[in-house]
A and B are shown apart, each in its own frame.
Chain A
Amino acid sequence: MTMTRMRAVVPVICLVFLITGCETTNSGQKTVIGGLGGAAAGGLLAAAVGGGGTGIAAGTILGGLVGGAIGNRMDAADRREAQRAAMQAFDTAPSGHSVAWRNPDSGNSGTITPTRTYQMANGQYCREFQQTVTIGGETQQAFGRACRQPSGSWQIVS
């Protein structure tokens, strides 16, 4: 191939390549007005999975996480570990993803799993969660709702 012909062919190759790339990106997508756009929506879908790095660390959790008989059998260290896991879960775990805690001294353990995120009318974020606590081989499950306070702490509201 002569140099002249190469000069003519290379831009054509590049142009075809660019056009093909554009077609792949946009094929099948309907035009949308008022949406955030496919790129943003796709990126937001990913953010819902990897939310851990996008939040701001909150303060301490107000209120008890575990009540009843099994709650009474948790020692102070268990409660501290459970609260730490809950804070991490509420701040960074996508719904359906669990954060586990374990107290190596007592052998007790548990999980906190946010199940749904929503906003109250005043803009306050709340997260419903499922919790398991295993003490002496016995596991109990509970459900609750935590709401984020203006201070950044989470309060268990039910």
Chain B
Amino acid sequence: MSRCVLLFVVAMLIITSAVYGQQQSPAGQQAIWDNADKNKDGFIDRIEFLEVMTDAFFFVDADKDGYLTLVEIRRIVGTMDPKQFEDADRDKNGKLDIYEYESAISKDFDAADTNGDGKITVEEFKLLRQGAK
């Protein structure tokens, strides 16, 4: 019986590690990093971050109406706390325009920039990506 429990725990650890490994695929991370680090200086600055996020706004806006809804964001990123969407939706019309979006994203940049030097390092980027699905 105790052997069964041990096997179960080990199996769960292996499965969880495999899932975690898939989420952090080095190739995917590298492609995302390369796409954002436009000037290839080894950092993602605020302008690069906002530029790539504007691309994302366009792609995530599935109906191309110029706004992002919670449904459209969730379709791409999986789960998202509705409270955070509501906080970003300053005019409370149930959708984010580009200005609300960039304001929110800029705050996410500040949160990701843990040492406050105005740039996201590789390590800070990894921490940010760990929150993604």
Contact = CB atoms under 8 A, between A and B. Distances in A.
Contacts of B81: 37
Contact of A54 (B38, B60, B131): B60
Interface of A: 1-3, 6, 10, 13-14, 17, 21, 24-25, 27-49, 51, 54-56, 92, 94-97, 116-119, 123-125, 127, 148, 152
Contacts of A54: 59-60, 62, 75-76
Contacts of B75: 54
Contacts of A32: 107-108, 110-111
11 contacts: A36-B73, A36-B85, A39-B79, A39-B132, A40-B84, A40-B108, A40-B132, A45-B56, A48-B32, A94-B59, A116-B51
A37 B105 CA distance: 8
Interface in B8-45: 9, 13, 16, 28, 31-32, 35-36, 38
B2 interface: yes
B62 A55 contact: yes
B117 interface: no
A48 B98 contact: no
Contacts of B53: 41, 44-45, 48
Interface of B: 1-2, 5-6, 9, 13, 16, 28, 31-32, 35-36, 38, 51-60, 62-67, 73, 75-81, 84-85, 87-88, 97-98, 101, 103-112, 114, 123-124, 127-133
A118 B54 contact: yes
A48 B131 contact: no
Contacts of A127: 58
Nearest to A49: B35
Nearest to A32: B111
A29 B125 CA distance: 11
A30 B35 contact: no
A29 B126 CA distance: 11
A32 B83 CA distance: 12
A13 B12 CA distance: 12
Given A32-B110, A35-B105, A45 B128 contact: yes
B55 A29 contact: no
A34 B111 CA distance: 11
A30 B54 contact: no
Nearest to B44: A45
Contact of B97 (A56, A94, A97, A123): A123
A47 B56 contact: yes
